[in-house]
Amino acid sequence: MEKTLVILKPSAIQRALVGEVIKRFEQKGLQLLGIKMIQLNDKILDEHYAHLADRPFFTRIKDSMMITPVIVTCWKGKDAVQVVRNMTGATNSRVAVPGTIRGDFSMSMQENIVHTSDSIENAKVELTRFFQDDEIFDFADAKKQFLYSNDEI
């Protein structure tokens, strides 16, 4: 089973969509292993978005991510990284298909409700960036037998 990071951005916080976003992941069958609210700062954003540092919109991203605290979450499930990416939709919300989180709740490239890990490798790095080991709780999932067939787990 994979673990992945989802950050509920200030746009989700300000628009009171936190419960709706979490509800969608839970209804899909993903298991919530960690959740906390934090205030991001320049240091962590410089690290998190280092791959965008030379882009003209880098400052805009950082400013946007510091408007309010964010909620960082850790989710677990079979192919969790790809499942979450599919549920989230395209980064540019204007082209995200209806039924996805961004397709249903956003009109922006930047103010697009969530950040999600884009690979298994990045999920591991990002989870370590935002969570201490004792903040992620890996426990038995009572509903697992109703989510997956025996040969999937």
pLDDT at 12: 98
pLDDT at 77: 98
Tens-place pLDDT, residues 127-136: 999 999 999 9
Tens-place pLDDT, residues 24-66: 999 999 999 999 999 999 999 999 999 999 999 999 999 999 9
Is the whole model's pTM more than 0.75, yes or no? yes
pLDDT at 153: 82
> In which order are the strands placed within the sheet that holds 31-38?
31-38, 70-77, 2-8, 114-116
Task: List phi, psi (to 5°) of 35.
Answer: -155, 135
**Is pLDDT of 19 > 90?**
yes
Decide if 115 is catalytic.
Answer: yes
Domain architecture of the chain: domains with CATH? 2-36+71-152 (3.30.70.141)
Catalytically annotated residue among 10, 21, 115, 117: 115
**Ranges of H-type helices in the chain:** 10-14, 18-28, 42-48, 58-65, 80-88, 101-105, 120-130, 144-147
Tens-place pLDDT, residues 73-98: 999 999 999 999 999 999 999 999 99
In the chain, the percentage of residues whose pLDDT exceeds 90 is: 98
